[in-house]
Amino acid sequence: MTGNLEAARERAQDFRDRFSKLESEIARRIVGQREVIRDVLVALFAGGHVLLEGVPGIGKTLLVRTLAEALDARFSRIQFTPDLMPADVLGTRVVVEDEKTGKRAFVFEPGPVFSNVLLADEINRATPKTQSALLEAMQESAVTTAGERRALPEPFFVLATQNPIEMEGTYPLPEAQLDRFFAKLLVTAPDRDELEAIARATCGPKQAPTERGATAASVLAARELVREVPLAPHVERHAAELALATQPSREGAPASVRRFVRYGASPRGVQALVLGAKVRALLAGRFAATVDDVRSQTKAALRHRLILSFDGEAEGVSPDALLDDVLAAVRPPSLEKIS
């Protein structure tokens, strides 16, 4: 028993070391955005995908590229445009002629989706048909082309970006695709001090290359460890109650949710709350997730899963404001209730 406990502690410490190394390497290249960096890594180790929303030029692409370098992973970038086709994402069959025999045959040419870290840049600029090409890949780490199912390299991690301002010529992501993102993160513009630091970093001598902080194999091992973190019944129940409180038809939903939300979080929202909480528990040196771990994951996990009603859209209601009401309405369980 003691040996098992010691092994678990060593694995947890190795997890924290790898997470910290990746975090510091990315922070060395990205000025500010510490919370975004941490949330991206939480999603990576939880096995989910991330949607990054922010105006152009604030480091979204650099963050993803630096992460791929720190992982020493296969990296692909797709610039989504209205004329992008599903085959440009998934790959296609091409005719290849054998030099010796002269015979021709169809050979599958893999698309950029066959990578470890995939940057889907300005994903909302592609048509729904092309956006949907990622659905199977994000859910099952596999794609089906020409009637054949092909597994993607593991780990497979999608980071998509979208611009919240320039909406002309864009196609809003359908609810089914949004739901497949583990987290939606808001990348804010830098302040004065951060702008000065960006100028120093980018207009001076060339920075040292990014050091490797983890490998694909170590990420997969870390994901297994995350799933082994225990979850007490009251913590599990609290995650479910938070997700249910985003449903306008539920009795315990806040008044603002009942008025401004058309559809709330799906079961994937609960999964994101629980897995994110487990990662945060390991980072805090605990081998058990708490209610606070769940609550700290709420906005990243649920903000993109709230589908606003007509009134919500018309009044410009913020999903984060609605989630503040949800957190206020669903109070943490008291010690008496737990016992």
Q: Return d(Cα 64, Cα 45) in angstroms, integer.
A: 15
pLDDT tier, 41 (very low <50, low <70, confident <90, very high otherwise):
very high
More confident residue, 2 or 137: 137
Determine the pLDDT at residue 307: 93
Domains delineated in the chain: 1-82+116-227 (3.40.50.300), 229-339 (1.10.8.80)
Q: Are 313 and 289 spatial neighbours (Cβ–Cβ below 8 Å)?
A: no
Q: What does the pLDDT average to over 280-294?
A: 93
pLDDT of 336 above 50: no
Q: Return d(Cα 238, Cα 326) in angstroms, integer.
A: 12
Closest CA to 119 of 72, 68, 55, 71: 68
Determine the pLDDT at residue 148: 85
Tell me the percentage of the chain whose pLDDT exceeds 70.
95
In DSSP terms, which residues pair with 160 in a beta bridge?
Answer: 51, 120
pLDDT of 233 above 90: yes
* β pairing state of 104-110 and 91-97: antiparallel
Q: How far is CA 274 from CA 22, 49, 145, 302, 334, in A?
A: 22, 15, 33, 12, 20
Q: Are 277 and 242 spatial neighbours (Cβ–Cβ below 8 Å)?
A: no
In DSSP terms, which residues pair with 118 in a beta bridge?
Answer: 76, 158
Q: Are 110 and 65 spatial neighbours (Cβ–Cβ below 8 Å)?
A: no
More confident residue, 311 or 165: 311
pTM of the predicted model as reported, rounded to 2 decimal places: 0.88
Residue-wise pLDDT for 139-172, tens only, equals: 888 988 877 899 999 999 999 998 776 666 677 8
